[in-house]
Structure formats: structure tokens, C-alpha cells
Amino acid sequence: MPKRHSPDVVIIGAGVVGAACAYYAARSGLTVAVVDRGPVAGGTTGAGEGNLLVSDKEAGPELDLALLSTRLWRELSATLPPETEYEPKGGLVVAPDEPALRALRAFAEGQRAAGVTATEIPADRLADLEPHLAPGLAGGFHYLQDAQVQPAQAAARLLAASGAALHLGEEVTAILRDPASGAVRGVRTARRELLAPAVLNAAGTWGGEVARLAGVPLPVLPRRGFVLVTEPLPRIVRHKVYAADYIADVASGSAALQSSAVVEGTPGGPVLIGATRERVGFDRSLSTEALRRLAAQAAALFPVLADVQVLRAYHGFRPYLPDHLPAIGADPRVPGLHHACGHEGAGIGLAPATGALVAAALTGTAPPLDPAPFRPGRDFGPADTVPPQEQQS
Amino acid sequence: MTTSPSEPRPAPAPVDLAVVGAGPAGLAAAVTAASLGLTVALLDAGSRPGGQYYRHPEPALGAARPKALHHDWAAFAGREAELRAHARGGRVRHLAGHQVWSVTGSGTDWTVHARTDDAGAESVPARAVLLATGAYERHLPFPGWTLPGVVGAGGAQAMLKSGLVLPGRRVVVAGSGPLLLAVAASLAAAGARVPAVVEASGYVPYARHPGTLLRNPAKLAEGAVHGGALLRHRVRPLLRHAVVEAHGTDRVEAVTVARLDRDWRPVPGTGRRVPCDAVAVGHGLVPELSLATALGCATRAAADGTVALVLTPGLRTSVPGVWAAGEAGGVGGAPLALTEGEIAAHTIAGRAVPPALVRRRARLRAFADVMGAAHRPGPGWTGWLREETAVCRCEEVPAGRVREAVEDLGATDARTVKLLTRAGMGWCQGRMCGPAVAALAGDGPSADRRPLACPVRLGQLAELPALPVD
């Protein structure tokens, strides 16, 4: 039997949330081991666009978490290497017509009260921010705090900076618990036992399976998204640009496909167009309908894109909980078990604040913001109704 | 944002069979299926049938004897004539210049989505699909391989067949596999000097399978023809050697050839310089599986180190309603592809497969496996890479960056290397660098994962027929 290690915490999941938790836990003086059945960033992180958005979140706990993350990402960008590609490019949310603009204005008003910097851009000034934007839009809002990172690099560099012991390609087969107290004692993989007084479930979309290993339910469900990637282009899209109905999609619990293309350039040259939101389980087949909608909406925002080549399309599975908030912190049902999963499409953006909350919970120090809305023991509400035969196209 | 979804167009009637690829396998399948009474759509990116193997000279060149560069041109010409007859009779729609980017559907309800050369689009409904998507060249990078004058061995052959052009006047042929002898013979016959044919493998492994070789006399004769042609031009293959570096500034001027150990690791101190003005290098072929893996077809590790489709004896994939023939099921050459195309057509038509076809397929597959295993790259080849050697040419990712991703950043497979370095994200979508990245990641070969099999204009995606949403 391989030798036993005794870190202070074992983190299950080498995605960006697990990496950020490892980073902040290590910075709090804890020794950390990270276990993942795949490579670094092998799940939803690797399929993400790297959005650090405040613009799409209405005033409330998730927005508070996003605003804290925005500050932490700015700090991190000073210490992480440039390959992380942190870019505080800002977001531009446009409204196609007057009613949408009025709704957006009310939405932004609430966000401003929570600390968001949102500036209304009249229709005739949109071209100053985005010269290739389609004519005829009613106006928009410029969100200075929206930013971007390269997600796989962000996860890998946070992990490297954490100094955590990495056990990649090792699936956790059991969460060990003390027979008397029920408290967690560590995890078992095919290759070793890692004993620790705390285990953090940062398994993202697969967080429900990990919770089950500890004997508790956690209703994390997958929500599929497709992203289109164009050929490398000169910088023709400067911000994260999307249409106002995207905000409605994020808050929606509907199972039907909804999309509103977020269009953005990348330092590498390609333009990313994403993402659709469908609840179709872990279905990996290509949806031409999803691609059609993304393409149509991107071309409607930026007509110049109609003639560029789409080089690839990929999909990922966002982890979501029925009330659309992540589960962060100690699980009251199992002493020593912590969760940090269910961030839906916002895991990259929310990772640092999540890591800071987890580190505070592990060390018993004061949290940087009120963790109550994210407590894993809360009532998640009813699971969204899923049609028996979910459409795949 | 309001977008006006396209009006649903009336769908054309589905054909019985859509064949993707008009190379040897697809062409044979299309004409056989049509002769068995099926309606067929044959889609291919090329302007004429034949694929990469039966390549035509550009008409403007006025080549009088294209068959001089081909084996078994008659096998092709006969089927091409049949194809024309079936097309005239309305049993086959030959959609030339149609590159398929996706196949969607299930069971007996499929749609084959293609882009056309004139920036148009076509979506073909079909009751069954045969993937005859062929293969592309396997490249193993080496220092200097991006210099002008370094071409793929298959590319050199293609240049000769379609353009009657030589890549240079003194051409070193290098890599591994039976194609090298054929390419060297073609180059020599077309007037080039071939100072060396450098083969990384030994031919020893063949000797372990004398039965398989003797059951394939045509293959032995083919080898003898190439060997004889080379001897006439005083070219002898140099076994267990590799081109480990190409030299030059604006263009290749020389190569370093070094001896390899059993694992293909270059043996220090054995390098010698060979002047040349071109290098044709190839390490065999990789099955093109983008469409198949997007459909979820099961794959297997083939003897040559590539990934191929799992197929039943009747050439069904693991996905009901989808068949495959030719290189997609494992690289095996044109005669095997022709045979498999005919077998697949029979099972798709619900007919018994003639026993002679079954026997021929078994014999040719066994031979392909022996060849594939003999020329499978050894793990030590990465020893000739330097840190600054470009691995991914599209995104200009050097070997050092790939090694950093693997050793320092937690990449344990080719996909994660791609996410961390961009290797494989460019125009070729990893077809060029895939095998090299997998080797550097210490990963086995992994199946192609490209939901879009080729680039598609964004406007074309936007104009797809809208589907209703509940």
C-alpha cells in the first residue's frame, strides 16, 4: 500500500474552483492535496469561455460574490503569470429596442446600488465602443468590471501557485468517515488513501456524485452549453458583447434551449460566441439548432462575422443547483465535509471569492462576505421540471 | 435581440444511403449500392471521384496517361464509368465539391450537412450513412521541418499525381511505411534524384508473419516493383534511420540522418549530413474520424498506433444506421477500401455478402495489421525534438511549451495540452500535431474530437433551417 499523506484538506476537483480553493487555503497556512480523476481543467473549466461577469447578475448574493471575485481576480492578475491572460476589457450589453432598453436600465439601477459600475451608452455612441456593431440598436450599458481570463491556464497557474500536492488521473472511490462520529477522515483512490480532517467537494457538475460518496444528496445537475470559435481575426470585437435577453436566460429555469450569443475577441485572435443553455443531461451529440442560434445572433450583433469561418464548436456541462446559487461551505450533515460546486456558468468568475469563503470556513476565520445564502444545508427548492423526452436539436 | 429564423424549407425526399467520401471505399460502395437498387447520394470535397488515392491531373495540364502514376487504374476507371451510368439513371447523386461538416440524426433518419465550393450549403436527408472519410498523413515533427522544401510524402505523391510537379531536384525521402518506396520510385521516375530513402523501422517484423505475406502476393509484387524501380535509380533504403534535422535558411539545403535504436531514439554520434533541396517525409496515415466520433461511434487502438473505428464484419459502426469502410476502420490501402465499400453496400442493402469479398477483406486486413505494427512509431522519436522545435505549426507552439504543460501544469493528455498551449486549435484542428502532442503528453493516441469536421462559414450556420422549440 502506498504511503499515507496527511494534508489539512483534500480537495476533490482540479477545475478552477478547486484550484482557487487550494490557492486560498494554502495562503491561509493549510497544507492541501488536490485529487481529480482527469487532468487539470478537464471538466467544465476546460469548456468555459473565461467570463468574469458582473453584468449578467441581478443584485443579490451571487452579484456580491461576483464583485468580491472581481477584486480578487485583479489582485491575482498581479501575481499569476501573463499566460493567465487576465483582461479587464469590460462588457457591453445592448438592447435591440426601447422596451428592452427600459428593462436593462431598471436592471442596471439595482446593480449600481450593489456596487456595479454601469454606464448607459446612447445608441449613437455604441460605435465608439464597438465600431462593427450592427446599426439600429436602441442603446446599451457599459460594464467596466467585466473581465476575462484563459480558464485552463487560470486553473493550472492557481494550482501551481498553491503548492498543493496534485494527484491527477486518480478517481476518488470512497470518502472515509469515522465510524463513531461520522466525521470525514479523508479519501481513498485506486492508488492511495489520503487522510485529512477536511474534504472539499469541488467536483463541479459531478459534485452530486461526490456528495453521494459521503452519503449525502446534493442536487447538482448539468446544463449543456455550446460555444463557437471562429478563425483568428484582427481585433474586431473589443468587449464582451451580448444582447439583453441573455440576462433573462441565466435566471430562467426553463429546460428549453435558450441562447443569446455573448460575442468576444480573444488575445489569440479567434472570436468566441457562446453560449446556449439546455438541460439535456450529459448528452454529447452536436446540436445544429444550438449552432444555428449562436451563429444567427452573433451575425445580428456583428454583421461582419457572417463571412468568417467557424473553425470549431465545443460544449460543456454547467453545474447548477435548483435555486441557481452555488453550494459553498461546511455541510452540516457530515462533519469535515465541505462543498464548493454548482456555480453554473459562472465558475471561472466566482472561483476566487469561493476560495476565500472556503479558506475562512476551513480555518474558522471571519468570512469576507455573508456565506449564509450559499450554505450547503439550505433548502434548494424544487428541482426544475425536466421534460421526459428532452429535445436535443 | 430579434432574429428572424429562416422559414422551414420543404425537406427533399431522403435517399436510401448517403456516402461521405468518394475515394476508393466510397466510390465502390456507391456504385455497388446503386446496382443493388438503393438510391445514393455521394458527397465529396473533390471535384472528381477518386479521393486522395486516385488523384487526377489538372485537366489544364493535358496529361495523356494519368494511369502511369497509379496502380490498378482500371479498378478505378471501371467504377467511375459505373458511377456516371448510375448518375444518368438517377440512382446516384454525385455531389462533387461538397465538404461534409456534420452528420446529425439517428436510426433511419439522418441529415448530412455539407458546405459547397461556391460558399453554398446543402443538407442531404438519408436513411443510412456510410462514412468513407479516408485518412490524412501522420507527421512527426523534427527541427527544421517547417522550412520550405520539406513536404509530406503523401503530399509529394499528390503533387506528382495532380500537378505533375516535383518538390525539388534532389529529394530525400524519409519517415516510415510502405508509401516511402512508392514515393521514391515515383520521384525517381519523374526525373528527381533521390539521394536517400530513410526508413525508421526495420523490415524485420515482416519476417515474423511469413504466412500473411505469402497470402498477399499482389502486395509483395507491388513492393518488388518499387524496389526494382529504385535499384534502377541506384537508391537503397537506409533502415533504422531518420532525418533528425533539416538545415537551411530560406529553404532546405541539407538534412542530418541519424541511426535509431529499437525505440526510435536517435543514437548520439551517428548523424551525417546529406545535401538536398527537398525532403518528402511521412509516417503513414491516420484515419479521419471527426464525423464518426461526433456521432459517438466506438473506436479502437489500431496496430499502427492510430485510432480506428470498431466495425462489425458487415462494417456497421457501434451507432445503428451508420456504416464505415476503408481507412476509417484502420489504414489498409486502396484494394482493401474497394473491398470494404462493396461489403458495406451489401449489408446496407440487406444482401448477403459474397464470400469472396469476406475472404479478400480478411487477407488484406491481416496484411495491413502486420505492416502497421512494423511501422508504428517508437516512443523514443521525441528525442530528436528540441525545446524550440515547432510542434503545432498553426499556432506556433514549440515542444518546450508542450513539455511545460505536461511537466509543470498538470496536463496528462493531448486535450489538456491543447487547452493550455493552443496546440491543435488552429486551421488544421490538430490533424498535423495531434500524434506529436499525444506522444509528448505521454498519452496514448486519442480519437479525433471535432464536432465540426471542417470550417464552416458563420453565415451558413445562421441560415440552417430553424427547428421548432417546445
Contact A157 B409 (CB under 8 A): yes
Contact of A29 with A364, CB cutoff 8 Å: no
Amino acid identity, position B25: A
A179 phi, psi to nearest 5 deg: -60, -30
Cα–Cα dist B96/B415, whole Å: 33
Does B410 contact A393 at a Cβ distance shorter than 8 Å?
no
In this predicted structure, the answer to whether residue B84 has a pLDDT above a threshold of 90 is: yes
CA of B102 to nearest chain A CA: how many angstroms apart? 8
Q: Give the containing element (helix H, strand E) for B279.
A: strand B278-282
B412 reaches A (C-beta below 8 A): yes
B410 touches chain A (CB under 8 A): yes
Distance of CA A343 to the CA centre of its chain: 5
Q: Is the pLDDT of residue B227 over 80?
A: no
- Summarised one tens digit per residue, pLDDT across range A26-47 is 999 999 999 999 999 999 999 8
Query: What is the average pLDDT score of chain B?
Result: 89
Give the pLDDT band of residue B60 (cuts 50, 70, 90). low
- Decide if pLDDT at B157 tops 50: yes
Task: Say yes or no for a CB contact (<8 Å) between B419 and A46.
Answer: yes
Question: For A295, which residue in chain B has the nearest alpha carbon?
Answer: B462
**Which one has a higher pLDDT value, B226 or B111?**
B111
Q: Which three cell numbers stand for residue B262?
A: 529499437
Unique residue bearing C-alpha cell 499528390: B158
Give the integer Cα–Cα distance in Å for A301 and A263: 8
- Where would I find the beta strands (DSSP E) of A118-238? 118-122, 139-143, 147-148, 165-168, 172-177, 184-189, 193-195, 198-201, 221-232
Task: Judge contact between A200 and A186, C-beta under 8 A.
Answer: no
User: What span, in angstroms and rounded, lies between the C-alpha atoms of B368 and B304?
Assistant: 9
Residue type, B390: A
In this structure, of B9-18, B36-45, B184-193, the range with the lowest mean pLDDT score is: B9-18
Distance, in Å, from the CA atom of B349 to the CA atom of B353, rounded to the nearest integer, reads 10
Among candidate residues B333, B332, B339, the one with its CA nearest the CA of residue B354: B339
Model confidence over A63-101: pLDDT tens digits? 999 999 999 999 999 999 999 999 999 999 999 888 888
A159/B contact by beta carbon, under 8 A: yes
Chain B residue with minimum CA distance to A162:
B409
pLDDT at residue B39 greater than cutoff 60: yes
What integer pLDDT is reported at residue B6 of this predicted model? 45
Asked if the model's pLDDT at residue A113 lies above 70, the reply is yes
Cis peptide before A275 (omega within 30 of 0): yes
Q: Give the pLDDT score at B201.
A: 93
B5: contact with A, CB 8 A cutoff = yes
Say if strands A198-201 and A337-341 run parallel, antiparallel, or are unpaired.
parallel
Measure the CA–CA gap between A283 and A222, rounded to whole angstroms. 10
- Say if A42 is an interface residue toward chain B (CB within 8 Å): yes
B9, B122, B419: best to mutate for the A interface, most A CBs within 10 A = B419
Amino acid at B26: G
A119 touching chain B per CB within 8 A: no
Q: Is some CB atom of chain B closer than 8 A to the CB atom of A236?
A: no
Chain B residues within 8 A of A38 when measuring between CB atoms:
412-413
pLDDT band at A256 (very low <50, low <70, confident <90, very high): very low
Set out the domains of chain A in order of their start, with CATH numbers.
9-47+152-219+323-391 (3.50.50.60), 91-144+221-320 (3.30.9.10)
Is B457's Cβ below 8 Å from some Cβ in A? yes
Q: What is the pLDDT of residue A389?
A: 33
Paired strand residues for B15: B126
B466 and chain A: CB distance < 8 Å anywhere?
Answer: yes
Question: Cα(first)–Cα(last) distance of chain A, in Å?
Answer: 49
Query: pLDDT digit string (tens) for B318-360?
Result: 999 999 999 999 999 999 999 999 999 999 999 999 999 999 9
Select from A256, A270, A310 the Cβ nearest to the Cβ of B452: A310
- Model confidence at A15: pLDDT above 70: yes
Is residue A46 less than 8 Å (CB to CB) from chain B?
Answer: yes
CB contact under 8 A, A387 and B470: yes
Contact of B181 with B197, CB cutoff 8 Å: yes
HSE, side-chain direction, 13 A CA sphere, residue B368:
23
Mark yes or no for CB contact B413/A39 under 8 Å.
Answer: yes
pLDDT above 90 (res B215): no
In Å, how far is B135's CA from the nearest CA of chain A?
20
Taking only Cα atoms into account, the Rg of chain A, rounded to an integer number of angstroms, comes to 21
pLDDT over 50 at A391, yes or no: no
Do B416 and A387 count as a contact with CB atoms less than 8 A apart? no
Residue type, A385: T
Q: Is B415 on the interface with A (CB under 8 A)?
A: yes
Q: Which residues pair with A201 in a beta bridge?
A: A12, A339
Burial of A190 (0-12, 13-18, 19+ CB in 10 A): exposed
Q: In this complex, which of B1, B113, B410 lies closest to A40 when CB atoms are compared?
A: B410
What are A145's three cell numbers? 468590471
B327-350 exposure pattern, b = at least 16 Cβ within 10 A, e = fewer? bbbbbbbbbbbbbbbbbbbbbbbe
